[in-house]
Chain A
């Protein structure tokens, strides 16, 4: 096969290698989730499984706009953001399967884990809570004069919480280097966005906080990268907070158990034609930014990496029950096991 002729220069200041890289991260995200679906059906995933099918573009594109040293905090559908920031499939598989060797040693679920060195802070389940926390990390960047940026994800649901409001308002007042990315996927569990807010567009809330706001097509990974990159630049240069609304759609239920009975007929099918990976692949091909062997090479790499990760952890043990009590405090004040033994004896 001959190398296709390049007809247009790559967009958004990205190189051809980076455009293929974006494809790699989206493909890795989707394939990792597909492996997890199969593990879930085999009963190997201990808890729920949360898909980001159809939303890989906004996660990957926005996280790709950060520099090393920047820190993000994901929501449950931002597996792609975690991977871009350096979380590994092996860690994610171990988390879902509650392995002793998982980053949280079996204490927390799915993508709820951190590495501040690599630049991700795992979320907690009360929505909106990470906005004040990431404001605090941005406050640290500002106080210590470091040109670093925080990025926190919320959804159309999390934007209804008090914590979101308090956090973004505080960050705005303090002009902190923070980017707030709203991944608007249409639903919070079963509740459609129109029951979350009377605002026509979520990004319309930005002027109320005195901050910049921008909306983009979240299923266009390059457009997502481009608007987030601009928001990150503004934050890094002292321009304060930006609210980025990325329009996308949640094609699966809240978690694997959710049959989506509340979704109007035809809606999911309509969005299947607006798939972020298909769209990016089509552009790679038509604009000549990647060859078929390039693309096949990425697919093979993803398969290889996931095979290796799964082979490594599938048969690993759960954590030993004796580890359950340690680490509540830096300095354990008393041994609870002894307490119960003493009480029983």
Chain B
């Protein structure tokens, strides 16, 4: 049996949904003949035609706006942001229009906005961002951030079938680095809003998502070997809705928690998670909940600078040791 990469898993998930449901169509920049800069949509225009794989002008507002209009009428659009950094160009459309549509007007808007996010790839300020915090604050949207090939496939399929708008933040560092056997003929659907225990443990919890899950697993392994610590890694998979129950259950078990994310610290998602831990599980804590995040600067290009700004495995190990000995 062959292993499937994270990127190929997303491609397969979209492909299967396109085959399954002819209401599904793709809209974005350079997704047709090119198949997108990372080839996520490779071969799709040849298979499904230019009417279902639509190359657009460089117009993120038009991509999301047109998707919303088509979704109101019953279609199921999947929008590609060429790099997720450019989702900021569609911020108004997503937050003012799409996210509010059901509540204010009873309009159904089942659409997906997906694209490559994340750093560790020397992409510089505009090809490395993690925009989840900018949208976490918007009722009406859902946000998913898969860490594994299985979840990449299962979540893109669930996102396309969801009745509400879903932001699907895939991590470009994982595209070809992460792979696993996905099984033949098995339909993979990952429920949105459910976290996954990536590694069980009893002494301490790392709550994280996306590429940081892999750094957390590295840190957990080192802490097991070097310190004899049993570290649980909770992969949230979805940020909106947030699996509060899974977070609380893990904290109640370990009593020490680190929230780690790749995005910058101030106003980051970790703040929200720690606030909820404080409200829901304060009595179980044996140490202050801590966070590891990027420094509060735009992400720089040079390897020395990027490596310094982004959280590394060593940062997670150091924070866990501090928590364990508190």
Residues of A within 8 A of B (CB): 104, 107-108, 112-114, 116, 121-122, 124-126, 129, 131-140, 143, 162-163, 166-167, 169-170, 173-174, 327-331, 333-334, 342-343
Pull 20 A–B residue pairs with CB atoms less than 8 Å apart, ordered by A.
Answer: A104-B105, A104-B106, A112-B104, A114-B107, A124-B96, A124-B97, A129-B93, A133-B66, A133-B69, A134-B69, A136-B72, A137-B73, A162-B61, A167-B62, A167-B66, A328-B103, A328-B140, A329-B164, A330-B164, A343-B280
With a CB–CB cut-off of 8 A, which chain A residues contact B67?
A: 136
Q: Is residue B266 contacting chain A, with contact meaning CB distance below 8 A?
A: no
| B66 x A129 contact (CB < 8 A) | no
> A-contacting residues of B (Cβ < 8 Å)?
25, 51-52, 54, 56-57, 59-62, 64-75, 77, 92-93, 96-97, 100, 102-108, 139-140, 142, 163-164, 193, 241, 244, 279-280
The total of Cβ contacts below 8 Å across the A-B interface reads 133
- Are A331 and B163 also in contact (CB < 8 A) when A126-B97, A136-B66, A163-B65 are? yes
| Chain A residues positioned under 8 Å from B107 (CB to CB) | 114
Q: Are A143 and B62 in contact (CB under 8 A)?
A: no
| Option from B61, B93, B105 in Cβ contact (under 8 Å) with A112 | B105
Contacting pair B102 A330 (CB below 8 A)? yes
Q: Are B65 and A330 in contact (CB under 8 A)?
A: no
Q: Which of chain A's residues have a CB closer than 8 A to the CB of B52?
A: 143
A292 CB to nearest B CB, Å: 43
Nearest B residue to A134 by beta-carbon distance?
B69
Specify which of A137, A173, A329 is in contact with B57 (CB 8 Å cutoff): A173
**Whose C-beta in chain B lies nearest to the C-beta of A152?**
B69
A118: shortest Cβ distance to chain B, in Å? 14
State which of A108, A125, A170 has its C-beta within 8 Å of the C-beta of B66. A170
Does the CB pair A133–B97 fall under 8 Å? yes
A122:B105 contact, CB within 8 angstroms = yes
B303 to chain A, nearest CB (A): 35
7 cross-chain pairs, A with B, having the tightest CB-CB distances, nearest first: A136-B69, A132-B65, A136-B66, A330-B163, A166-B62, A166-B59, A333-B241
Q: How far is the CA of A114 from the CA of B108 in the complex (A)?
A: 12
Cα A42 to Cα B155 with chains together (Å): 53
Knowing A132-B61, A136-B67, A136-B69 are in contact, say whether A124-B106 is a contact too (CB < 8 A): no
Which residues on B sit within 8 Å (CB–CB) of A169?
57, 59, 62
- B102 contacts across to A, CB distance below 8 A: 327-330
Q: How far is the CA of A330 from the CA of B102 in the complex (A)?
A: 8
Bound CA–CA A86/B2 (angstroms): 59
Task: Tell me which residues across on chain A come within 8 A of B279, comparing CB atoms.
Answer: 343
A-side contacts of B92, CB under 8 Å? 126, 129, 163
Residue of A170, A173, A331 ringed by the most chain B CB atoms within 10 A: A170
Question: What residues of chain A lie closer than 8 Å to B61, measured between beta carbons?
Answer: 129, 132, 162-163, 166-167
Contact across chains for B65 and A104 when beta carbons are under 8 A apart: no
- For residue A114, which residues in chain B have a CB less than 8 angstroms away from its CB? 105-107
CB pair A129 B65 closer than 8 Å: yes
Contact B105 A135 (CB under 8 A): no
